[in-house]
Amino acid sequence: MKLEKHLSALVSEGIKASKRLISILNLSLLVKDNGLEDGVMTIEELRSGIESRATELRGIDHTILMRALKLLEQKGKLAIFKGSSTDDEGVKFSV
């Protein structure tokens, strides 16, 4: 399983990677729990929106979140798009 290999590699990288791993798992849960498959959210909504209220994504460091999102983008699970400011950055999920 590709995801299993990817997660194992992250775990073997240590603490920094474990934060990304937690972010990836929380993102997957947030998307599924809120029916956001094929949905769109801003990065700020992921960090502080209603959907993230009871998750570990609430207030997550922007850099850690972006690293996790970029890994998921490389795997074809989402697309990151940029607006005119950082508040306009967003994600289109394709989980």
Predicted confidence pLDDT, tens digits, the chain (95 residues) = 454 565 566 556 655 655 666 677 777 777 787 788 888 889 898 888 888 888 777 888 888 888 888 888 988 888 999 888 766 889 998 86
Is 73 within 8 Å of 60 (Cβ atoms)?
no
In our burial notation (b when 16+ CB lie closer than 10 A, e otherwise), range 30-58 reads bbeeeebeeeebbbeebbebebbeeeebe
**What is the β-pairing status of strands 78-81 and 90-93?**
antiparallel
In angstroms, the CA 62 to CA 12 distance is 23
CATH of residue 25: 1.10.10.10
The pLDDT, as a whole number, for residue 12 is 63
Range of the domain at 44: 2-93
pTM: 0.70
The DSSP symbol for 61 reads -
**How many structural domains is the chain composed of?**
1
In angstroms, the CA 67 to CA 5 distance is 18
